A and B are shown apart, each in its own frame.
Chain A
Amino acid sequence: MTTSGRRTGTTLDAVDEAGRSAALIGYLPVGFPSVDGSIEAMVELVKSGVDIVEVGMPYSDPGMDGPVIQHAAERGLEAGVRTKDVLTAVSAIAEAGGTAVVMSYWNLVLQYGVSAFARDLDSAGGSGIITPDLIPDEAAEWTQASDDYDLDRIFLAAPSSTPERLSTIVGASRGFVYAASTMGVTGVRSEVDNHARDLVSRLKDAGAQRACVGLGVSTREQAAEVAEYADGVIVGSALVRALDSDGVPGISALASELAEGCA
Chain B
Amino acid sequence: MTDVSQENGPYFGSYGGRYFPEALIPALDEIEETWRKSQVDPEFTEQLLDLQLNYIGRPSLLTEATRFSAHCGGARIFLKREDLNHTGSHKINNALGQALLAKRMGKTRVIAETGAGQHGVATATAAALLDMECEVYMGEEDTQRQALNVARMRLLGAKVNAVSNGTRTLKDAMNEAMRDWVANVADTHYIIGTVAGPHPFPAMVRSFQNVIGVEAREQIRNAAGRLPDAVCACVGGGSNAMGIFAAFLADAEVKVYGFEAGGEGIESGRHAARFSGGRPGVLHGSATYILQDEDGQTRGSHSISAGLDYPSVGPEHSHLHDTGRVIYEPVVDEEAMEAMRLLSRTEGIIPAIESAHALAGAMRVGQSLGSDAVILVNLSGRGDKDMTTAAKWFDYIDEGAVQE
Task: Give residues in A with beta carbon < 8 Å to B.
Answer: 59-64, 66, 70, 74, 77, 82-83, 106-108, 110-112, 132-135, 137-138, 155-162, 165, 169, 180, 183-185
Residues of A within 8 A of B297 (CB): 59-60, 77, 108
- List the 7 closest A-B pairs by CB distance, nearest first: A111-B296, A158-B23, A184-B183, A60-B298, A107-B296, A60-B297, A107-B282
Decide if B114 is an interface residue (CB 8 Å cutoff).
no
Report whether B296 and A64 are in contact in the complex, using a CB–CB cutoff of 8 Å.
Answer: no
Report the bound CA distance from A39 to B372 in whole Å.
Answer: 67
The reply to whether B185 and A160 contact each other, CB–CB distance below 8 Å, is yes
Closest B residue to A62 using CB positions: B175
Counting chain B residues whose Cβ lies within 8 A of the other chain, the interface size class is: 20 to 34
Per-position binary interface string of chain B over residues 291-316, scored 1 when its CB falls under 8 Å from any chain A CB and 0 otherwise:
01011111000000000000000000
18 contacts between A and B (CB under 8 A): A61-B283, A63-B21, A106-B282, A107-B283, A107-B292, A110-B296, A111-B294, A111-B296, A133-B19, A135-B19, A156-B23, A157-B22, A158-B21, A160-B185, A161-B22, A161-B25, A183-B183, A185-B183
A162: B residues at CB distance < 8 A:
26
Q: What B residues does A77 contact at CB under 8 A? A: 297
Q: Is the CB of B22 within 8 A of A158?
A: yes
The answer to whether B18 touches A138 (Cβ under 8 A) is: yes
Residues 167-199 of chain B, each 1 if its beta carbon lies under 8 Å from chain A, else 0: 000011001001100110110000000000000
Q: Is the CB of B22 within 8 A of A183?
A: no
Most interface-central of A62, A63, A111, A112 (chain B CB within 10 A) = A63
Contact of B19 with A111 in the complex, beta carbons under 8 Å: no
In the complex, B320 has a CB within 8 A of chain A: no
Is B182 a contact partner of A185 (Cβ separation < 8 A)?
A: yes
Q: Which residues of B contact A83 (CB under 8 A)?
A: 295-296
Pairwise interchain contact B281-A111, C-beta atoms closer than 8 A = yes
- A111-B281, A160-B26 in contact; A133/B295 too (CB < 8 A)? no
Q: Is B165 an interface residue (CB 8 A)?
A: yes
**Does B23 lie within 8 Å of A134, measured CB to CB?**
no
User: Is B282 a contact of A110 with CB atoms below 8 Å?
Assistant: yes
Cα of A180 to Cα of B179 in the assembled complex, Å: 14
* Known contacts A61-B175, A66-B179; is-contact A112 B27 (Cβ 8 Å): no
- Write out the residue numbers on chain B whose beta carbons fall within 8 Å of the beta carbon of A160: 23-27, 185
Report which of A61, A74, A111, A156 forms a contact with B284, defined as CB distance below 8 A.
A61
Smallest CB gap from A109: residue in B: B296
When distances are taken between beta carbons in the complex, the residues of chain B under 8 Å from A66 are 179
- Taken together as a complex, chains A and B put the C-alpha atoms of A68 and B165 apart, in Å, by 12
Question: A135 and B182 in contact (CB under 8 A), knowing A110-B281, A111-B292?
Answer: no
| B20 located at the interface, meaning its Cβ lies under 8 Å from any Cβ of chain A in the complex | yes
CB of B17 within 8 Å of the partner chain: yes
Pair B182/A61 contact, Cβ less than 8 Å: no
Min CB–CB distance A22 → chain B (angstroms): 22
- With A66-B179, A110-B281 as known contacts, state yes or no: A61 contacts B166, CB within 8 Å: yes
B178 contact set on A, CB distance < 8 A: 63
Nearest Cβ distance between residue B299 and chain A, in whole angstroms? 8
Residues of B within 8 A of A184 (CB): 179, 182-183
Q: How far is the CA of A108 from the CA of B281 in the complex (A)?
A: 9
Q: Are B165 and A135 within 8 A (Cβ)?
A: no
Quick one: which of B20, B175, B295 contacts A108, CB cutoff 8 A? Answer: B295
Q: Give bound CA distance, A60 to B284, whole Å.
A: 12
Query: In the complex, what residues of A have CB within 8 A of residue B284's CB?
Result: 61, 63
Residues from chain B with Cβ under 8 Å of A134 in the complex: 19
A64 cross-chain contacts in B, Cβ below 8 A? 21, 179, 182
Closest to B177 in A: A63
In the bound complex, how far is the Cα of B297 from the Cα of A169, in angstroms? 27
Is B20 a contact of A133 with CB atoms below 8 Å?
yes
* Closest Cβ neighbor of A160 among chain B residues: B26
What CA separation (Å) do A138 and B20 show in the bound complex?
10
Residues from chain B with Cβ under 8 Å of A185 in the complex: 179, 182-183
Given contacts A110-B296, A183-B185, contact A133 B166 (CB under 8 A): no
From residue B189, how far is it (CB to closest CB) to chain A in Å?
14
Asked whether, in the complex, the Cβ of A132 is within 8 Å of the Cβ of B21, the reply is: yes
A180 CA / B178 CA spacing, docked (Å): 16
Q: Is the CB of A180 within 8 A of B175?
A: no
Given contacts A61-B284, A63-B178, A183-B183, contact A112 B295 (CB under 8 A): yes
CB neighbours of A159 from chain B (8 A): 23
Instruction: Assess the A61–B179 pair: CB atoms within 8 A.
Output: no
Question: Of A74, A138, A156, which one neighbours B19 at CB under 8 angstroms?
Answer: A138
A73 shortest CB reach to chain B, Å:
10
Closest to A66 in B: B179
Given the complex of chains A and B, what is the CA–CA distance between A183 and B165 in angstroms? Answer: 22
Closest-CB distance, A133 to chain B (whole angstroms): 5
Q: Which of B21, B166, B172, B298 gathers the greatest number of chain A CB atoms within 10 Å?
A: B21
Contact of A60 among B23, B25, B166, B294 (CB under 8 A): B166
Are A63 and B175 within 8 A (Cβ)? yes
Cα A83 to Cα B296 with chains together (Å): 9
- If the complex has contacts A64-B182, A106-B282, are A82 and B295 also in contact, measured as CB distance less than 8 A? yes
- Greatest chain A CB density within 10 A among B24, B171, B297, B298 is at B297
